[in-house]
Structure 1
């Protein structure tokens, strides 16, 4: 999730590391209006869809199918940069001016609270009720990420999520089943890390992200169960950080250090994003662990989501059409296109067991991964997310480094995450 990854791994393409939560791609620096040739008439209403570049056929196929199925609207894809920070600023500049140049927008999960809080997005609760759409039909963490002050502003475009990877050739079948069910705690994980470290030449029990950056906010979200128990979560992270089976430089670990430790056979357990599985399955340089020896499980409190959401510009002159497109793109047909043609994870839950979708996403064949997708959680939803995340990172890292000032650190983090 480096710096708000914009690229989510297309899991069926083992060499692809495209579009995960918050990475950047310098090869795309200008937005452009791209759309396929069609036979639409001039009487149709044009909808502008601002979304990042897609190196798979999925987004174009999604738009083409929507345009094919309706006669009233014609969606045009305004292809944005894959640099998350640039895309954020470009959208913000447009929205803050009151512009209606975009009708539908793809948003990083951490932008929804900011844009909703500023009054730039239209709530969709009434539309959902009118069309009998239930929040439970969609990825839970993605829905929570787009819910601000009790109102729903987004539907999932494609989710990403935190996972627990483990060595199936080391962990007992009984413990593996417990992990895959998700019915275990961080204390249980600690005990397993102690138990198995040293087996099959491993020397790390559990690798995860603790450097002072966005990844620390994500990991603390998971340890604290979305900040329901800040003190307990911090204490547990500190317990892992000081364990004998944990690398001494764990407070400098990001995703790269984590996947290296696991894929090179050093770690028994590792917390990371789905892209790490793609590296192992694709036998990337340095990978020594066989994919056959890799297990996947939910994290104890659920994995924090990354990925992207679909929203409606409040200034849009075509709000009705914007909703029709979002409903299609986030629904069963649209999500099936994104999953089968792009390898993206579906945000529409009914597709998790669809045979075509599972064939395009190798991880969906894992029971633990299926369970993880059902138990996702969200980072804080705030109109000033960057400030909130900075407060979490600075204070959490301070405590994890020193082991002192827990009460003060917990208080500051609690105040930051509850502020609106």
Structure 2
């Protein structure tokens, strides 16, 4: 662990809040009271409960695992009003949630103690002084506990040599496929995804599927999320990294060239070429792509781990399985951080310790999230809290319209299949790459999505021109211009 920032460094971090208003694309400004004077300092408020946790919507549904974990914390702290916790879920997509959190923390319009941040937002919130560095481990036990976090997952909490959060739930791109549809097309088991599968292997299977006389007219080889939102950024970075193209270094400095960007764009165009990807992918998000997969309109699917739990509501156990994504896969997920001006900092950090404990991470994994601790995958972790385990339901914001019909709830896959999934997920997380680390991530992803979506939508894509234009804009973005 890295030491906490103290003294002048902390004051410098606070001073950057004003600068953060200029650097972030939010509608809410850094304002004081209605008459232009500064509002009350939250540090002067009494450190009374509840501890307020702000988070995006839980993909495990209403009353999902995050809310259940908060309720378990409250049960364990019954009779202590100042230590009770409350979960506030923010509506909208990731970009909207980011804007809401930035606006609230900069203006002081909402007093959050803990924020559940997308891993790509850590540099921005840290640079603006909106979250506090986590304290250094004081005992060997605490240090060992931190080492249980998967190395690449824990690295998402770092910025400028300090850890600003704890990993809560993680994510990584996976390749789902339909064994029943592959069998129907005459593709033998030996030609199905393995740990060493490549995109060329996938293309070969897609070609065979296209030649099958039994293939429905609306069935494509694979689908993914190419709508103009963060899913497109994830798919693009995976293509770039698979082609050996890194957009920025770990300090947020731009390092690509127009020639390298063209190489990455060409890789993405190969993956999404006509006859390979489902055309509807260009307007698909996670829910839409999962619906197409479950309905048999795509045989392969690039999706996140929670899709594995969602499949239980959509398909029979022998109709789906999962393996690692060919090439590189990007990390996703959220980290828990304490807001810089929380008057309940100590209680907030204690709550984060609870929410990221082995027992809590086991609950998250059981509910369909990817856990952040290695012990969950090697079966040495403590089991899920009994009260939470009893309340958990099958995971997923699964599109009910895609259900395959029949009465009752489809059966889960067997223990052997679930163990294989856990091994696959662990291996993928241990080799995943990050999206660019930069305080200007919001501007970066907006520019990337705009150029890439326009390129994919045209009938005659010119990757050279797109790369030149993208290079010029990204140079400005990473320089903060």
TM-score for both structures, normalised by structure 1:
0.72
Partner residue, 1:325? 351
Offset of residue 57 of structure 1: 6.0
1:214 aligns with 2:230: yes
Residue pair 1:332, 1:350 contacting (<8 A) in 2 also: yes
> Residue 102 of structure 1 is aligned with which of 103, 106, 112?
112
> Residue 201 of structure 1 is aligned with which of 215, 218, 234?
215
Give the distance between the partners of 2:363 and 2:311, measured in 1 at CA: 26
- Seen in structure 2, the aligned counterparts of structure 1 residues 61 and 243 have a Cα distance that, compared at 3 Å, is closer
Q: Which has the higher strand share?
A: 1
Partner residue, 2:301? 270
- Seen in structure 2, the aligned counterparts of structure 1 residues 103 and 246 have a Cα distance that, compared at 3 Å, is closer
> Which 10-residue stretch deviates more, 317-326 or 135-144?
135-144
Give the distance between the partners of 1:298 and 1:417, measured in 2 at CA: 32
Give the distance between the partners of 1:413 and 1:167, measured in 2 at CA: 40
Give the distance between the partners of 2:148 and 2:170, measured in 1 at CA: 14
Provide the aligned length of Structure 1 versus Structure 2: 369
Give the distance between the partners of 2:82 and 2:379, measured in 1 at CA: 29
Give the distance between the partners of 1:210 and 1:60, measured in 2 at CA: 31
Q: Which runs of 5+ in 1 are unaligned?
A: 1-42, 284-288
Partner residue, 1:298? 324
Query: What secondary structure sits across from 2:143 in the alignment?
Result: coil
Q: Which runs of 5+ in 2 are unaligned?
A: 1-45, 247-259, 396-411
Give the distance between the partners of 1:128 and 1:204, measured in 2 at CA: 55
Give the distance between the partners of 2:208 and 2:146, measured in 1 at CA: 40
Offset of residue 336 of structure 1: 2.6
Query: What secondary structure sits across from 2:269 in the alignment?
Result: helix
Q: Which has the larger radius of gyration?
A: 2
Matches within 5 A, 1:57-76: 58-63=65-70, 65-66=72-73, 68=76, 74-76=82-84
Partner residue, 2:433? 377
Matches within 5 A, 1:12-411: 46=49, 48-52=51-55, 55-56=62-63, 58-63=65-70, 65-66=72-73, 68=76, 74-84=82-92, 87-97=97-107, 101-124=111-134, 126-127=136-137, 131-133=142-144, 137-139=148-150, 142-169=153-180, 170=182, 172-176=188-192, 179-181=193-195, 183-199=196-212, 201=215, 203-225=219-241, 228=246, 230-248=261-279, 250-283=281-314, 290-340=316-366, 342-354=367-379, 364-365=418-419, 366=421, 367-400=423-456, 401=458, 402-404=461-463, 405-409=465-469, 411=471
Query: What secondary structure sits across from 1:225 in the alignment?
Result: helix
Give the distance between the partners of 1:221 and 1:129, measured in 2 at CA: 39
Residue pair 1:395, 1:412 contacting (<8 A) in 2 also: no
Offset of residue 296 of structure 1: 0.6
Residue pair 2:52, 2:88 contacting (<8 A) in 1 also: no
Give the distance between the partners of 1:216 and 1:349, measured in 2 at CA: 29
RMSD: 3.9
